[in-house]
Amino acid sequence: MEKSQKAFDVTEKSINNYAIKVNKSKEEISNLDAQLNKNTTILNKAGKSTKNMSKSVDEFSKSSEQAGKSTIKLGSLIKANNKLRND
């Protein structure tokens, strides 16, 4: 009977040690999952920021192009006006 009790105690201790390791592993997995979620959030924000920056650059480009066209028109009007004055 004493041998059985010792064997039971050894087995119980092994099971408890295993349970502790499993719990620590679950905690580590939970921490890693939280870090992954945080990284995903940061990456999503960076992606949105990049898209917004791209839109801003496109808008600036269109605005600059429009300003350039307007400047050319103004230059043509001034040139025509000067030509009329000199004639």
HEC profile of 19-68: HHHHHHHHHHHHHHHHHHHHHHHHHHHHHHHHHHHHHHHHHHHHHHHHHH
* pLDDT per residue as tens digits for the range 3-25: 888 888 888 999 999 999 999 99
Which residue stretches of the chain have pLDDT < 50? none
Which pTM does this prediction carry? 0.52
Q: How far is CA 74 from CA 61, 62, 69, 81, in A?
A: 20, 18, 9, 10
